[in-house]
Amino acid sequence: MARSTKEEALETRARILDAAERVFHAQGVSHTSLADVAKAADVTRGAIYWHFKNKSDLFDAMCERVRLPMEAMMEESADERNIDPLGQFMQVGVFVLKRVATDPQCRTIFDIIFNKCEFVDHNDPILVRQRECHMQGMISLQQTLENAIVRGQLPATLDTRMACLLVHATVSGLMNDWLFAPDSFDLAQVAEKMLQACIHSLKTAPSLQK
């Protein structure tokens, strides 16, 4: 009986998260209430509060469905013991971009993050959490680039802070442009070439050197 109850709870949680994806995507995060999510999931608001503290907690859990495997891969490339940090970064970058292009759930969640969060409150908990994730990602990326310098994969004169800005702009720009106009180019097809071009710039662009 206990196992059945646990399985039912997990099924309800998954149903709530699925509903949150649909409603956030259709209405935007700011215009969606927990009552809207409860209705879409066919559960009570009490059921939502049983699994999630508030809308911010629900939003974060929804994002974690795709963010966790990507963060794990980034942490691996940022690990100073990694003997091929640049190669690992390429694998992560291509994986993320191709997954956005081919995985409907991943595409929906990133579309919500990029285009469906209409924040007017600078201190909105969801916005604060998004900033925290962004900053942590930049820290991991900078560590990856520093590891690549130690391994001789990038020049010792590279300004890793400037390099992080270029890499982030390349990846997020590609993703955002494709989400805005998916028919304008094939994201999965150009992903590897664009990242290779970005890495080439890290190795050769004078403006990125200290």
User: Of 101, 71, 86, which is closest to residue 182 (Cα–Cα)?
Assistant: 101
In tens, the pLDDT along 135-147 reads: 888 998 999 999 9
Cα separation, 203 vs 186, in Å, equals: 26
For 75, the token pair is 């942490």
According to the model, what pLDDT value does residue 79 have? 78
- Whole-model pTM? 0.83
- Strand blocks (E) in the chain: none
In tens, the pLDDT along 32-48 reads: 999 999 999 999 999 99
DSSP 147-179: HHHHTTSS-TTB-HHHHHHHHHHHHHHHHHHHH
Cα 1 off chain centre by: 37
In tens, the pLDDT along 161-203 reads: 999 999 999 999 999 999 999 999 999 999 999 999 999 999 9
DSSP, collapsed to helix, strand or coil, labels residue 124 as: coil
According to the model, what pLDDT value does residue 67 have? 76
According to the model, what pLDDT value does residue 175 have? 93
Burial class (CB in 10 A: 0-12, 13-18, 19+), 5: exposed
Cα separation, 8 vs 61, in Å, equals: 18
Distance of CA 48 to CAs 117, 120, 133, Å? Answer: 21, 25, 24
In tens, the pLDDT along 73-98 reads: 677 777 788 899 999 889 889 998 99
Domains and CATH numbers, the chain: 1-52 (1.10.10.60), 65-208 (1.10.357.10)
DSSP, collapsed to helix, strand or coil, labels residue 209 as: strand
Cα separation, 96 vs 152, in Å, equals: 25
